Amino acid sequence: METLRVEAKKYKVSIELEGHNSTIRADRQEMQELINNLCDNAIRYNKPGGTVKVTVDHDDEKVWLRVADTGIGIPKEHQKRIFERFYRVDKSRSRATGGTGLGLAIVKHIVQGMNGEIQLESELDVGTTITVLLPKQKEQEK
């Protein structure tokens, strides 16, 4: 979170973390990449003074990681394609912010490799929420 806070400050965005400790079986490096990609997008495509809220929680079956921002949002016609490799909604803005169109494709690949699912909710000029649902580690697996 500290590294992400430095990036958020550069874009004049606040970032907060909430939720509960949750356990999953995962590759640490892949999880860091997943979290960094989701949060980096939420920061870069936000508005000055905006917020990124990261929530981690669980139920009996799944652990979820939710990254919600108050950013520019994603037009409905682009929402089905944003997890494709090299797909960028606004090519000129993506170049300006350093986007390659790979971050969300990497996130999708990691989530699928963990038998998880990914959900997207977005509204123009309101923000975007991406939720990653992953199988919870059972007590006997710990």
DSSP letter for 103, please: H
- The pTM (predicted TM-score) of the whole model is 0.87
Q: Tell me the average pLDDT across 19-28.
A: 92
Q: 133, exposed or middle or buried, with CB in 10 Å at 0-12, 13-18, 19+?
A: buried
Q: Quick check: 82 and 74 in contact, CB under 8 A? A: yes
Q: What is the pLDDT of residue 101?
A: 65
Residues 38-70 have pLDDT tens digits of 999 999 999 999 999 999 999 999 999 999 999
